[in-house]
Amino acid sequence: MKKAAKLLLASAILCSGLRASLVTLDLSPSGDIYGNPGDTIGWGFSLTNSTSYYLVVSGSLFNPTSGDVSGTYTDYIGAAFIAVGPGATLSQNFDSVAQTGVGAFAIDPSAIPAASAAGYLTITYDLFGEDPTNPNPDLVTYPNFPDQLDCPFPDNCTLSPFASVSAYIPPPSPTPEPATLTMIGVGLLCFGFLRRRRARG
């Protein structure tokens, strides 16, 4: 009896580990984004739902754990009611005008060039037994529509890929080389000499 209980427990642990990879999120670009102070930058995504349920994203949050770049994060994916059906993948590019992608990070205009911040971009989602986007559900067959489920996954219905933002170092102002300065000086002397000759003539 004890042996059977141990086998059952081991199977449950194995299954929970397998289920952890049934929902995946890939950022585009892959985590690291760059911009000038004052820019609004962000991430696109590819969200894969390999479960047999309907997945609806409820929100996102960028929580830097290290670094010194300041700015404001705006959630796009949670506000857009992103729904992904069973066995489906949804992808979006980042667009600050259309407000698509996971979200946007507005770098503070006073951010120090070369400053950066790193942390986790956390996505939360809910699972449903029925399609929550169905405008005419069969409430006789599905009285609990859309039948929201408890999160059976070890990730507690969250995805947290690593991400970071960085402010560009502005390129240095070009410094004229000594030879260039010499040529400019000779040119000015010649120009002055010619003007003097013309004035005398």
Q: What are phi and psi of 142, to 5 degrees?
A: -120, 75
Contact 139, 92 (CB under 8 A): no
State pLDDT tens for residues 140-160: 777 888 888 888 666 789 999
Domains of the chain: 22-200 (2.60.40.10)
Contact 122, 159 (CB under 8 A): yes
Q: Is 194 exposed, middle or buried (0-12, 13-18, 19+ CB in 10 A)?
A: exposed
State pLDDT tens for residues 47-97: 999 999 999 999 999 988 898 888 999 999 999 989 999 999 999 999 999
d(CA 198, CA 190): 12
